[in-house]
């Protein structure tokens, strides 16, 4: 799935201990032997090296992307784009504020495309609108359609959050068409994944005009780890439990940490094209008896048009950021024939390449940090050459502990 991957080179003010992975993943040894494998270096004995500064050094090449797709070239997305303006959100409230501002300013003829792990009818600005009467997801989408904006939502058929997602579907699919131009909102459940243990984790939002002859016009896209859902809204201080409870945001957790970025530029077209390809696939989502039994029925719907712009698909003049969009589609699923007939794991290859490019520091945030041999091999390859490796993973007390590094 398309995920915002962040591997950051950072300078730490104080040295941290490093431990050899051989003591964690090697064969069972005596305690004396294990102790001898421990690297007690704090990294200060390793000289700082000049990092790679060109974006293209970090990006996958066109051939590497093709290789990640089983030899099938990727024609619907650019290899990479330049001239993007990027805003990062490490506090979820800031993400919600920005999304509300963008959704509230759409106009007649605009399009909104949302891909989600889960969607719920939560207030986007609970700090000023506890009930969501003015800023709730349902209200915002209703107002968008009334203004003449078309909205399309692909939401994973998420059993764990079904009660919230089905309420969102029912409300959004019953929004009356726009009296201005007939614009409407369509919410679909998407179950087109490999098996019941799989999931769609593409969390993207695209805001764009239907078409534009302006050579400078570029759409906006949000990509990252956040949904418009329960739990997610929080502040940097994580001290708003009472407000979260009162606004119905709280579900199981009392706070949330996650990241997202806003892209304004040609990279947003890649995010949009990924969505359009999924929506327009001839293999329809949620058509089985199980979907009906679980309440994941979809309404009749139509294909949506491709983006139609005069502006460049690869270069912009809105900012200085270069971006490569990577994603994951299982090679073992047979119904991605239009856009990934042999799957795609460019995200995985991009992560490995970034790790191997590190010269001094590696910082990884990962919800599960699942044990993957290729990932471990890449880390082990660079460990003797870098000063620090910092990994932050969410402590799991569920079945994911069986697959993550935490079990060691």
Rounded to the nearest 10°, the torsion over CA 59, 64, 68, 72 is 120
Report how far residue 348's alpha carbon sits from residue 366's, in angstroms, rounded to the nearest whole number: 13
Per-residue three-class SS string for 6-22:
CEECCCCCCCCCCCCCH
What is the reported pLDDT for 404?
57
pLDDT at 388 over 80: yes
Which bin fits 277, alpha (ψ -120 to 50), beta or left (φ > 0)? alpha
pLDDT at 30 over 70: no
CB 184 within 8 A of CB 87: no
pLDDT at 7 over 80: no
Q: pLDDT confidence of 22, banded at 50, 70, 90?
A: very low
pLDDT tens sequence across 235-283: 999 999 999 999 999 999 889 999 999 999 999 999 999 999 999 999 9
Report how far residue 273's alpha carbon sits from residue 327's, in angstroms, rounded to the nearest whole number: 12
Owner of token pair 């692909």 = 154
Residue 303, classified by CB atoms within 10 Å of its CB into exposed (0-12), middle (13-18) or buried (19+), is exposed
pLDDT tens sequence across 220-230: 999 999 999 99
Mean pLDDT, rounded, for 191-197: 84
* Cα separation values, 178 from 89, 150, 408, Å: 32, 9, 56
Opening angle at CA 122, ends 120 and 128, nearest 5: 170
Range with the lowest mean pLDDT among 32-46, 176-190, 381-395?
32-46
What is the reported pLDDT for 366?
83
Owner of token pair 């650019």 = 78
Give the CB-side neighbour count of residue 138, counting CA atoms within 13 A: 19
What is the reported pLDDT for 400?
59
Range with the lowest mean pLDDT among 28-37, 136-145, 230-239, 255-264?
28-37
Question: What residues contact 280, with CB distance under 8 A and at least 6 apart?
Answer: 303, 304, 338
Secondary structure class of 252 (helix, strand, coil): coil
What is the reported pLDDT for 18?
34
What the chain holds in terms of domains, given with CATH numbers, is: 7-53+350-407 (no CATH), 81-323 (3.30.870.10)
CB 342 within 8 A of CB 70: yes
Range with the lowest mean pLDDT among 59-63, 268-272, 396-400?
396-400
Question: What residues contact 321, with CB distance under 8 A and at least 6 apart?
Answer: 82, 83, 84, 85, 86, 265
What is the reported pLDDT for 194?
86
Average per-residue pLDDT in the chain? 89
Range with the lowest mean pLDDT among 117-121, 125-129, 208-212?
208-212
Secondary structure class of 407 (helix, strand, coil): helix
Which bin fits 372, alpha (ψ -120 to 50), beta or left (φ > 0)? beta
pLDDT at 54 over 70: yes
What percentage of the chain exceeds 90 in pLDDT?
76
Range with the lowest mean pLDDT among 197-206, 210-219, 388-397?
388-397
Written as six digits, the tokens of 397 are: 């007390």
**DSSP states of 312-372:** -SSB-SS-SEEE----EE-TT-S--TTT-TT-EEHHHHHHHHHHHH-SSEEEEEESS-B--
């Amino acid at each position: 799935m398309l995920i915002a991957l962040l591997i950051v080179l950072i300078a730490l003010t104080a040295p941290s201990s490093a431990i050899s992975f051989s003591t964690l993943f090697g064969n069972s040894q005596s305690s004396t032997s294990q102790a001898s494998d421990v690297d007690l270096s704090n990294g200060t004995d390793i000289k700082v090296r000049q990092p790679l500064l060109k974006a293209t050094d970090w990006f996958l090449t066109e051939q590497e992307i093709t290789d990640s797709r089983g030899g099938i070239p990727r024609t619907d997305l650019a290899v990479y784009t330049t001239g993007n303006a990027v805003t990062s959100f490490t506090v979820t409230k800031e993400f919600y504020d920005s999304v509300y501002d963008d959704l509230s300013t759409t106009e007649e003829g605009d399009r909104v495309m949302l891909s989600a792990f889960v969607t719920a009818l939560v207030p986007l600005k609970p700090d000023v609108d506890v009930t969501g009467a003015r800023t709730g997801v349902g209200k915002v989408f209703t107002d968008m359609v009334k203004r003449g904006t078309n909205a399309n939502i692909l939401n994973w058929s998420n059993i764990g959050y079904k009660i919230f997602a089905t309420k969102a579907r029912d409300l959004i699919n019953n929004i009356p068409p726009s009296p201005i131009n007939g614009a409407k909102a369509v919410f679909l459940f998407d179950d087109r994944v490999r098996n019941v243990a799989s999931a769609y984790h593409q969390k993207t939002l695209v805001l764009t005009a239907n078409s534009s002859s302006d050579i400078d016009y570029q759409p906006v896209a949000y990509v990252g780890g956040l949904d418009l859902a329960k739990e997610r809204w929080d502040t940097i201080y994580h001290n708003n439990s009472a407000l979260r409870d009162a606004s119905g945001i709280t579900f199981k957790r009392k706070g949330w940490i996650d990241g997202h970025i806003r892209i304004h530029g040609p990279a947003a077209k890649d995010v949009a094209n990924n969505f359009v390809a999924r929506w327009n696939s001839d293999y329809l989502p949620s058509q089985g008896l199980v979907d009906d039994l679980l309440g994941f029925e979809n309404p009749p719907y139509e294909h949506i048009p491709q983006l139609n712009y005069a502006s460049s698909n690869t270069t912009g003049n809105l900012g200085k950021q270069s971006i490569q969009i990577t994603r994951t589609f299982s090679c073992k699923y047979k119904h991605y024939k239009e856009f990934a007939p042999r799957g795609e794991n460019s995200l995985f290859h991009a992560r490995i390449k970034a790790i191997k490019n590190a010269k001094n520091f590696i910082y990884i945030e990962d919800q599960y940090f699942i044990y993957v041999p290729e990932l471990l091999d890449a880390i082990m390859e660079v460990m003797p050459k870098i000063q620090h490796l910092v990994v932050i993973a969410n402590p799991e007390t569920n079945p994911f502990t069986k697959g993550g590094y935490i079990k060691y």
